[in-house]
Structure 1
Amino acid sequence: MKKLLITGFQPFGGETVNPALELVKKLAGKTINGYEVIAREIPVVRYEALDVVRAALSEVQPDAVIIVGQAGGRPDITVERIGINVDDFRIPDNKGNQPIDEPVAADGPIAYWATLPIKKMVRNMKDAGIPASVSNSAGTYVCNHLLYGVLHLLAKEGKAHIPAGFVHIPYLPAQMSVRAGLESQYPTMSVHTLVQGFTAMIEALD
């Protein structure tokens, strides 16, 4: 059976929950489209995030990799097209790192295209009635750091053929229930809907 490594970040930025982590916990151990789904929790810390995924890649030897992160304010599931070689953190990570205009990898190219079938994934989710789109920016925080870092690592190790990429997801309803004012009006998506969306997404993998 093929193996899918899926990762979810820990809470950050003052949040007590991260929808990415809650989602991957629900997917862990499932078999979807012939893939055994293997989940890992990732720290929101520069360099440490990639270290954890590097170890998981060595252990699991996956046939595909999907990294998942929270994008508060986005209304749908967004599959990222590109990772860029810059760390420019608008807020500190969970250990206080806040690089400005620094490379993810000094020896790396400007950018890498994600190697997941992004258009097919989005189409599958839309066909399943789940709001989804392609995104052309993963930002410049730890999400992009990990997207670029994983693609760079796979390229350096001669494993660029492994489909890999990043997916951003909206807030959970519970995250908005504790807020007041305009912030409580950010779009949300339930874990149940997210699981449906990711099931359709994984079915797009060969």
Structure 2
Amino acid sequence: MILLTGFEPFGGDGFNPSRAIAFRAAEMLAERAIRARAAELPCVFALAPARLNELVDEHEPDVVISLGLAAGRDALSLEKVAINHVDARIPDNAGDQPIDRQVLPGGANAYFSTLPLKGALLALTPATDPGKQAGSQVRAEISYSAGTFVCNQVFYTLMHRLDGNPGTRGGFIHVPWLEANDPRIEIHARAVADIAVLALGTGPEPAFSAGRES
């Protein structure tokens, strides 16, 4: 069972591509006869973690992938690290703007994603698979900062929930800004579905550098 989440629109926008991609990816997985559910999370600090936990309780998934919008990026960002820190640049949809606050008081400083990030990057990056048709390609990267807004809060909440539970893999992916009618939503949804399927497997991660100097 695969659980995918995306966020409602925020910051005055009327659309959030993370939600559209999550729901389309769930449809694609169902078309492959893989059990999957998609759900929308509120972009509200006081509500998003509880809603995520409700969904995990309800569906008992094998894989959980939460998606969020990173409007300033131009690639699918496979997030590596969730930090126990909130520092909101803008208010959430309830008007809350916490500054220098922990996601979970007394919790671990950080958690790592348990998704097969390098395996996913190898599968998705066009340069590693020249046989792919151009229309199916998606730019992807491993990111080492999920920000300090509700996205990171949800990512941290998820990884805290899954800590010590090797039977469930989870993580977070940031998607770039896309308009509602952008055909790349289909491409990104297919990429997310492929990552979810990869996460169902148990193979070792490939060993290659995806680090950054800055």
> Could you list the runs of 5+ residues in structure 2 that have no partner in the other structure?
202-214
Q: Deviations over 1:38-81 (max 9, x none)?
A: 11110000031111110111110000100000000211101000
Check if 1:51 corresponds to 2:50.
yes
Q: How is 1:70-81 mapped onto 2 (pairs within 5 angstroms)?
A: 70-81=69-80
Letter of the 1:116 counterpart: L
1:183 corresponds to = none
Letter of the 1:108 counterpart: G
Q: Secondary structure at the match of 2:78?
A: strand
Match of 1:5 among 3, 22, 35: 3
2:60 corresponds to = 61
Kindly tell me the number of residue pairs found equivalent between the two proteins.
190
Superposition deviation, residue 160 in structure 1: 4.8
CA distance in 2, matches of 1:164, 1:37: 14
Structure 2 contact 4–23 (Cα < 8 Å) conserved: no
CA distance in 2, matches of 1:199, 1:114: 17
Superposition deviation, residue 202 in structure 1: 2.3
2:184 corresponds to = 190
Q: How is 1:87-106 mapped onto 2 (pairs within 5 angstroms)?
A: 87-106=86-105
Q: Deviations over 1:108-142 (max 9, x none)?
A: 11000111111111111114532101000000000
Letter of the 2:39 counterpart: R
CA distance in 2, matches of 1:189, 1:87: 33
Check if 1:26 corresponds to 2:24.
yes
Q: Secondary structure at the match of 2:12?
A: coil
Structure 1 contact 33–202 (Cα < 8 Å) conserved: no
TM-score of the aligned structures, taking structure 2 as reference length: 0.83
Q: Secondary structure at the match of 1:66?
A: strand
1:185 corresponds to = none
Superposition deviation, residue 161 in structure 1: 4.1
Residue 63 to residue 93, structure 1, CA distance change in 2 (3 Å)? same
Superposition deviation, residue 189 in structure 1: 7.2
Match of 1:135 among 123, 134, 143: 143
> Could you list the runs of 5+ residues in structure 1 that have no partner in the other structure?
176-187
Structure 1 contact 170–189 (Cα < 8 Å) conserved: no
RMSD: 1.9
Match of 2:173 among 158, 161, 167: 167
TM-score of the aligned structures, taking structure 1 as reference length: 0.86
Match of 1:202 among 191, 196, 199: 196
- Please identify, of 139-148 and 189-198, the stretch whose mean Cα deviation from structure 2 is larger: 189-198
Letter of the 1:131 counterpart: R
CA distance in 1, matches of 2:31, 2:148: 31
Letter of the 1:167 counterpart: I
Q: Secondary structure at the match of 2:35?
A: strand
Structure 1 contact 7–21 (Cα < 8 Å) conserved: yes
Q: Deviations over 1:9-63 (max 9, x none)?
A: 0000011000011111212343377742211110000031111110111110000
Identity of aligned residues (%): 35
Superposition deviation, residue 190 in structure 1: 1.9
